[in-house]
Amino acid sequence: MIDVYAREPEPELFRESLRDFLAQEILPHIDAWETAGEIPRWVWRKFGEMGYFGLNFPEAYGGQDLDFWYQVIFIEELSRCNSAGFAAAMIAHPILALTHINASGSDFLKEKYLISGINGELFGALAITEPGAGSDVANLQTKAVKQGDYYQIDGSKTFITNGVLSDFIVTAVKTENQMGAGGISLIVVDRGTPGLSAQKLHKLGWHASDTGLIAFDEVRVPAEQLIGQAGMGFYYIMQRFALERLVMAISGVAAAEDALEYTLQYMAERQAFGRPINKFQVLRHRMAQLAAEISRAKVFNYTLAQAYNDGAYQVKECAMAKLLATQLSDKVMTECLQAFGGYGYMEDYKIARMFRDSRIGTIGGGSSEIMCEIIAKAVMG
């Protein structure tokens, strides 16, 4: 809807091919996956074959080592597949789970997970949130006690995307009980390790994705599964949070844009009182306002994406982008659904799903209130 300014043509060619791929291989199955509540394994393999999980990872591990704009396009196009649950699953694996292994993991871990994660043989989850603590990372309770060559993990994690079906879980644990933020570490836990169990959660939306409650009961994990240094987990997580928020902002705006285009299409076809409803001024102005706000959010995201690509550190700005984009997405979905009238409430049109899928945006990856805390601290001290 808004032309990106001064962009290189190559990433846009990638967009075209990705869009074709999704239209051919993915879109026909989306409804079935939404009903089944999971995504079949061949999809991961297919994505791996196409190279979509390795866009930003080194060639040595099978990645493509491309600039961040390719990742932006990947996120945007996935967010236009009429299933944010599907998008979340496909984004969480490379951008949440693999990113930590690539950024801070040992050669051993990279050999073991990065290569097979990029080629789609294995897929992962990132588990931070617990029943009692989410953004308050320093207060996590899941313990990992070192016993010789092993860590023994006890505790639980919840709201974990890919938490039930994934092959491995990058887990935030407390290795030093007394130390608060300084005692947090990241460790990779394989599915199937004795003592590990997961339960699928029922959700308002995101139906295609499996969101898990994971229990760790005396789970023994070899010490070499630790990512980076013990006690550095908080730092690793904080470092990647900015990226996660930018990703959510990009995804929120892409979904909003998709919903608006979908709605404008409907409004051009739907007649009331003898004319298409896109001729009614009050609806026109509402859509104009939404289009303007979407453009603003998109330009802001792109500005930050450019800065991210250039290596800038932008915690405050990414929190701002996430806050605004997810709020906007909720607003756009609410208003767009309204334009469909009764049909908007029916599953015949995708707007109902878009509406419920959007609602997690202002909660996941740090709620709007957490974003405001971060911004306020940066602005007011």
Partner 1 sequence: MSSYYFTEEHELFRQGLRDFLAQEVIPHVDSWEEAGKIPKELWRKFGDMGYLGLNYPEAYGGIDADFFFSVVFLEEISRCFSGGFTITPSVQQYMASPYIFKHGSDFLKEKYLTRAISGELICSIAISEPGAGSDAANIQTRAERQGDHYLVNGAKTFITNGYYGDFLITVVKTNPEAGTSGVSLLVIDRESAGVSARKLKKLGWHASDTAELNFDDVKVPIENLIGEEGMGFYYLMGGLQLERLAGAISAVAGCEHALEYSLQYMSERHAFGRPINKFQVLRHRVAQMAAEIESTKALVYHCSRIHNDGGYAVKESSMAKLLATELANKVMTECLQFFGGYGYMEEYKIARMFRDSRIGTIGGGTSEIMREIIAKMVIDDKSYGNADVARPQASNGRSAKTEKAAPAKTTPPMTPMLDHLLPTITARAAKAKVLGSTLKFDFGGQQLVLDGSGESNVVHTQDSSADCTVDITLEDFNALIRGELNPMTAMMSGKMKINGDMGVAMKLQAILG
9 binds partner 1 (CB under 8 A): yes
In the complex, least distance from residue 281 CB atom to partner 1, rounded to whole angstroms: 8
In the complex, least distance from residue 168 CB atom to partner 1, rounded to whole angstroms: 35
Q: Among 12, 217, 218, 347, which residue sits at the site for partner 1 (rule: CB under 8 A)?
A: 12
Dihedral sign computed on CA atoms, order 243, 324, 210, 51 = negative
**Any idea of the CA torsion for 13, 264, 34, 115, to the nearest 10 degrees?**
20
Dihedral sign computed on CA atoms, order 122, 128, 129, 135 = negative
196-255: contacts with partner 1 (CB under 8 A): none
Q: Among 149, 303, 313, 345, which residue sits at the site for partner 1 (rule: CB under 8 A)?
A: 303
Contacts of 42 (CB under 8 A, 6+ apart): none
Q: Among 169, 226, 291, 336, which residue sits at the site for partner 1 (rule: CB under 8 A)?
A: 291
Return d(Cα 187, Cα 143) in angstroms, integer.
11
Catalytic residue among 38, 77, 130, 244: 244
- Check if 16 is active-site: no
293 binds partner 1 (CB under 8 A): yes
292 binds partner 1 (CB under 8 A): yes
Return d(Cα 182, Cα 230) in angstroms, integer.
9
Beta bridge partners of 172: 186
Return d(Cα 86, Cα 90) in angstroms, integer.
6
Q: Among 15, 19, 200, 296, which residue sits at the site for partner 1 (rule: CB under 8 A)?
A: 296
In the complex, least distance from residue 317 CB atom to partner 1, rounded to whole angstroms: 7
Residue with tokens 């929120």, as numbered in its chain: 252
In the complex, least distance from residue 316 CB atom to partner 1, rounded to whole angstroms: 8
Residues that contact partner 1, how many (by CB under 8 A): 41
Tell me the CA distances in angstroms from 253 to 56, 186, 248, one per residue in order.
21, 31, 9
Positions touching partner 1 (CB under 8 A) are 1-2, 5, 9, 12, 264, 267-268, 278, 284-285, 287-289, 291-293, 295-297, 299-300, 303, 306-307, 317, 319-321, 323-324, 369, 371-376, 379-381
